[in-house]
Amino acid sequence: MSDDITNTGGNWRGYYLYEPGGRRHAMSLELAFTAGTVRGSGDDDIGSFVIRGSFEPEGVRVWWTKRYLGAHGVDYAGVRDGECGRVVYGSWSIAGQGSGGFRIWRGAVPVDAAIEVEAEAHVFEADDAVLVPVRSR
């Protein structure tokens, strides 16, 4: 892939969903993409968290664990899209407890801005991505 996600570190904004068409839960992240690893931190309506994961430098897949400080972790799997991979969308899951969709984008555009965005959740089973549409608002 010609897009270079390593140039997209810094401020990211986005949201996660508990169910299709459900309320957007805003998140603010600071991410760095270097040599196939994703590192960062952020905040959402649950609390502060750290991000540790990986990405395919020559592909589109991105995956990480969002671990709330002193609490549980949430696994994220997604794909990058847009110019230079500046949008990442996919699905999150907590083993045996639930799952949903998410979408994040590079920059400071807040979730509640007057722009309309849609998320598409990807559920990864083995090496195949199954597209599951998730509509927001």
How much is the pLDDT for 6? 61
Give this prediction's pTM: 0.76
Domains of the chain (ranges; CATH) run 5-134 (2.40.128.120)
Plot region of 90 (φ>0 → left; ψ -120 to 50 → alpha; else → beta): left
From first to last of the 137 residues of the chain, give the pLDDT tens digit: 335 566 567 899 999 998 877 889 999 999 999 889 999 999 999 999 999 999 998 888 999 999 999 899 999 999 988 666 788 999 999 988 899 999 999 887 666 653 344 433 333 333 333 333 333 33
